Amino acid sequence: MKRFFAVLSVLTLLLTGCADKSASISAHAKSRSIFAMDTYMELKAYGDNADAALDRAVSRINEIEAELSVTLPDSDISTLNASSGEPVEVSRDCAWLISNAIKYGDMTGGSLDITLYPVVKEWGFTTGDHNIPDAARLAELLSNVDYSAVSVDGTEVALPKNAEVDLGALAKGFTSSEVAAIFKEDGVRSAIVSLGGNVQAIGSKPDGSDWRVSVRDPFAPETDMCIVEISDAAVITSGNYERYFTGEDGRNYWHIIDPADGYPADNGLVSVTVIGSDGLMCDALSTALFVAGKDSAADIWRKEGGFELILVTDDAEVFYTQGLEGKFTNVSSMTAEVISR
Ligand code: AMP
Ligand code: MG
């Protein structure tokens, strides 16, 4: 419980930004704090319809969790994972996310691969019962990893016989986009949500200025590394400090896996933040570009557009893409360099 409140207070700080200046406005904010999708979520909305919109948003989050959870036995994902290769009728959300996962897998040269789930399980990241698999076991599991063999036809999804999927790499970004859509439908023009530290801003602050969102320092996760000023955008981070264990060999092993070898991705980056209007895209890419590494991430940014990046390398340098110039404030002692088009 103590941890719950500690986390909440961090989130509250994150979300209020300049708490002193907005104190009078905050009085009119309505908020909800929930635990869902294995994480703490804080939602805050302003305006007349805020309460009703927040209630709808919480229901929608619970609905998405019920569909996509890998642990709830009746979810679409559990049904799919037990399907032994037979086609399964799934919810529209589930089919939409799987088709997007395939799209972002293709966009990133296979760095995003939702069929890694058996490998993620083997490392113990789903249960907390951590284990360093040997190379033979990883090779065996990797023989069934291939997102491009998943097929989606409307709301019918078929996995290859021994494949299992997990949408943890992109579900929260999708959820925050869905919350944003509900707020807009309900006439909420100013809101901000944090789903386990992944932030989605709806409109700007009630006073019309941009939201100021902090991004953690991956080398000191209790500390801010930078502040970005945004409106109507998601700020989504994948980092090696978010979920990891220390093995008996003294090394850290984290939850983002490289489909190339089944080991935690170690391609020079310790955190990747993706900023853009499409939360699903930001979440899918934060995980994929963490795997891809700095040069590939920059190339994909140049080629695709529609998002901005903040990358932190394992030798403690920060790189941010050109579109963030004027909206990015480095508050760390690391040097920060711009990635140009
Ligand atoms: P995120 O925190 O958004 O970066 O997502 C990480 C989660 O996605 C992990 O906890 C795994 O469940 C899953 N995952 C890990 N590596 C990959 C990968 N390369 N492609 C797709 N999903 C992954
Ligand atoms: Mg992600």
Q: Whose CA is nearest to atom 6 of ligand 1?
A: 169
Q: Identify whether 149 is part of a domain.
A: yes
Domain limits for position 138: 71-158
Q: How far is the CA of 53 from the centre of ligand 1 (A)?
A: 30
- What is the percent of the chain with per-residue pLDDT over 70, rounded to a whole number? 92
pLDDT tens track for 259-289: 999 999 999 999 999 999 999 999 999 999 9
Q: Which atom of ligand 1 is nearest to the CA of 70?
A: 12
Confidence bin at 197 (pLDDT 50/70/90): confident
How many domains are there within the chain?
Answer: 1
Q: Identify whether 19 is part of a domain.
A: no
Q: Which is it for strands 308-313 and 30-36: parallel, antiparallel or unpaired? A: unpaired
pLDDT tens track for 167-178: 999 999 999 999
Q: Cβ atoms within 10 A of the Cβ of 105, count?
A: 22
User: What pLDDT sits at residue 28?
Assistant: 83
Q: Identify whether 272 is part of a domain.
A: no
| Alpha carbons 290 and 272: distance in angstroms, whole number | 6
Say which residue, 25 or 117, is predicted with more confidence.
Answer: 117
Instruction: Give the domain CATH number at 151.
Output: 1.10.3980.10
pLDDT tens track for 285-303: 999 999 999 999 999 999 9
Confidence bin at 152 (pLDDT 50/70/90): very high
| Alpha carbons 64 and 48: distance in angstroms, whole number | 26
- Does 289 contact ligand 1 (Cβ within 6 A)? no
Q: Which atom of ligand 1 is nearest to the CA of 290?
A: 4
Poorest-pLDDT segment among 1-5, 128-132, 139-143: 1-5
Q: How far is the CA of 146 from the centre of ligand 1 (A)?
A: 14
User: Angle between the 279-292 and 92-107 helix axes, to the nearest 10 degrees?
Assistant: 40
| Alpha carbons 67 and 74: distance in angstroms, whole number | 8
Token pair, residue 192, equals 């901000």
Q: Identify whether 290 is part of a domain.
A: no
Q: How far is the CA of 265 from the centre of ligand 1 (A)?
A: 10
Q: Identify whether 109 is part of a domain.
A: yes
Q: What's the whole-model pTM score?
A: 0.93
Token pair, residue 162, equals 């021994």
Please report, for residues 178, 210, 212, the alpha-carbon distance to residue 235 in angstroms, rounded to integers and kept in the order given: 15, 13, 11
The mean pLDDT of 59-65, rounded to a whole number, is 98
What single-letter amino acid sits at 175?
T
